[in-house]
Structure 1
């Protein structure tokens, strides 16, 4: 009922939002003399601020129509090349000259943790000059009819394996944050089964491999509350008239509330500054605010079974580092991985996946030869900076590109570049 009440309140505000938007247009219209006064700009700014803080933000577009490859601009087309009820695999197909040596295939596994895959737009954009990029585009659970079945952590792992089979040999997989655990599990299972379509490399970035190391506020909350608390307090049925009406989900608006409460003062100051940007006609700063919050406030629901199984497995039981994780009854053994090169990347100031949590994969993957393993810690960046921003583009991307290039074709051809192994 709580989710349905939230939807009803949102619908009830629609006339007020429409009125606020009309006031914004009236008081920002250059033909209205009042729009050129501080009073007029203040009214328009207040109206826009109200409309933006009460609207529902839809799924953003990647909007990557071009890239620079070999120093030349090329067109990029976004195509769906694989699809299941809860995920699509997007391919950013570049219009490259015929006869050019193919770039390595890169599967970026985006997190299924509240935001859409477009949160990794900067990650995709940075890798497009160097790789044939694919990314997981997870589907909002409230948009999937109950008739399509369930989706849990085991299904997530199956999806990753299926996508690796779809892309074929000489594929490189990159997991950003939450998917580090299921990607590591998927590769371990493939090795255990003797799967011939193993990825050549596996890059894990800012992921919760072992949350006992340097636990953050998020880790502590999950362990203290336990799975049953989350089941009783954050799980609810998707409301009517969503296509997934009746499906048990962890709603996006609750996730967003949790995200924002962690840094509430920062968000309040940002919106106050946005109001002043509009009054002072600082268009560039106002547009940067819009761009950021258009992405940040666009959230999606997760299936209850996936969310609860992830909380239980990763944050409460620490099943993977303890050697207790299973997939449909089969033990997940990272030590079984022998033929996939491993790169782990962390941010010094990461407050979501604490320093050392991702590096734990290096200790678990004892079967990988030393010359096929590397770790990099980026100083002075938080969680977001591990996969986006200027330091990501200038410091982290070159190391990932070098690592992939050194291990193309599998372990026989691998010669690890010296600079990848440092921490700077």
Structure 2
């Protein structure tokens, strides 16, 4: 069997030699180039299983080589060597399509893991997940999302998933994990809004016995639990500012320090984040760090709401009913009457696919066992749903507007003191004043 081949592109002889020796000891064939021109010459003569290139080369940029290989041989993963601490270059390379990056000075263990992961992309693809774990539908937005999942599975770039509650953000994250080279390693999901602030650092990075009251034993954190796999940070917008700083460092350095520990330990984890909120808006308001947003949002993915793809509802309903009926012990799932299907198509689904599941589970209980009628769905009129949603949003804005007015009046329009009174940053208050139109009063 012919061993895999790797193209190494770097103008520093010491780094080329280190990478060549490391990969040769892994049983791989290597070819080395000191310039882009030499690399192109190698690529014109043969194909490679992996390419590792420096960011800066005498006759151009490694980013350009990434783009060229993406065009000529999109199945070849390309890793980029970046200068230590140059987070912008690392993010730029991932956005250009690089599989992953490694920082100088090159860590041999990290390099081995990176190449192992890249080579696993050559193997057979993992089987599709069971019913209930698929991106079902034929709407163009879902077709594009399925294609994007396949592409992202071949990368190690951080992914940020946005979408309304119930649109399947965690499902998308799981599929990216399951279809990629990390599939055999853990997928660890955490809701960032569900962890108490005082326990957050311990939960993420672990702690040593005796490091604080109640720490009766050593405990591994979420990063250690996801070693080799994927850490899914759901509702990442809920992270407090002090944890945003620590998360940013963990992502940049790929190392974490447990509470009470003296030394950092390396971690090999891909981070996928998600939220139903607008992170860019939170950054502008001063409630989310711009540098962390830049690091998380390397590749953005949007999960479409169900109301945008109403034509997929019959297929989704059929599959969901089959699963629910099977779990309940029914031999055959009841059918939806045409009137019931029409009702579902017209319904706006503020809770999206999750709400569809709840509606069908309730209808299965209420129906006669053979078919589901429109009355069994117990849907609220579509207009009242939309009106109540917009009305609730208006009430929230009115309450916020009134609270800001009162705080400004109490502090004689000293915005710094008003922000302290409201428990928000000055920048955030200034943003809310403008957004709510209070600056025009």
Scaled by the length of structure 1, the TM-score of the pair is 0.22
Q: Larger C-alpha radius of gyration, 1 or 2?
A: 2
Scaled by the length of structure 2, the TM-score of the pair is 0.22
Structure with larger RCO (C-alpha < 8 A, sep 6+): 1
